[in-house]
């Protein structure tokens, strides 16, 4: 038999399966099952993925909720664009908007306190990458992503967009301060 010539027996499914082929099928199937059952294990016990909620949202409503939070809890302004820094109380809903090419507003949170972080994109798909904590969330327009967060370390943490969003993508960086 040759790999170039067609098989002598055209009805291949009636041919006996060699024991080496059976062994490789069993190994591949076993590995697939191990990986399949490891996914929920990694999610629950490995703390690699955040359990978040996602809702459809109108951009106008989200903008209004963000503006109300900014008006109520602004403590100062930063950057050349005078982006407000807000310090909401623990346990409250915190809103963060991603739009070309910035995050709005800058957040100041308390260590050990839990917040509901609400994220949305106003124009295109963006990413929320919190460094050095390695938290990554894909932010999609028209959807509100809600994540419960509890900062465990004090410091200045960087937020970067990790979904290419246009020519100013490299400037889409912000901060979260934890006191």
pLDDT (tens digit per residue) in 54-106: 889 899 999 999 999 999 998 888 877 888 999 999 888 999 999 888 898 99
Counting beta carbons within 10 angstroms of the beta carbon of residue 72, is it exposed (0 to 12), middle (13 to 18) or buried (19 or more)?
exposed
What pLDDT is attached to residue 49?
A: 61
Of the candidate ranges 30-34, 43-47, 99-103, 130-134, the one whose mean pLDDT is the lowest = 43-47
Which domains can be identified in the chain, with CATH numbers?
53-178 (2.60.40.420)
Would you give the DSSP letter of residue 105? S
| Sheet strand arrangement including 102-104 | 53-56, 143-149, 115-121, 93-99, 102-104
Predicted TM-score (pTM) of the model is: 0.71
């Amino acid at each position: 038999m040759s790999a170039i010539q067609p098989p002598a027996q055209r009805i291949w499914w009636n041919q006996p399966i060699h024991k080496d082929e059976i062994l490789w099928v069993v190994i591949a199937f076993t590995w697939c099952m191990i990986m399949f059952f490891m996914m929920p294990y990694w999610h629950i016990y490995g703390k690699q993925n955040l359990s978040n909620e996602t809702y459809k949202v109108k951009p106008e409503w989200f903008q209004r909720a963000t503006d109300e939070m900014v008006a109520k809890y602004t403590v100062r302004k930063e950057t050349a664009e005078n982006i407000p820094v807000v310090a909401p109380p623990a346990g409250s809903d915190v809103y963060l908007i991603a739009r070309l090419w910035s995050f709005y507003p800058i957040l100041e949170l308390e260590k050990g306190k839990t917040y509901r972080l609400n994220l949305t994109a106003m124009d295109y798909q963006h990413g929320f990458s919190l460094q050095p904590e390695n938290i990554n969330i894909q932010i999609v327009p028209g959807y509100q992503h809600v994540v419960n967060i509890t900062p465990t370390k004090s410091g200045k943490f960087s937020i970067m967009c990790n979904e290419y969003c246009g020519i100013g993508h490299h400037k889409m960086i912000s901060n979260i301060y934890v006191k």
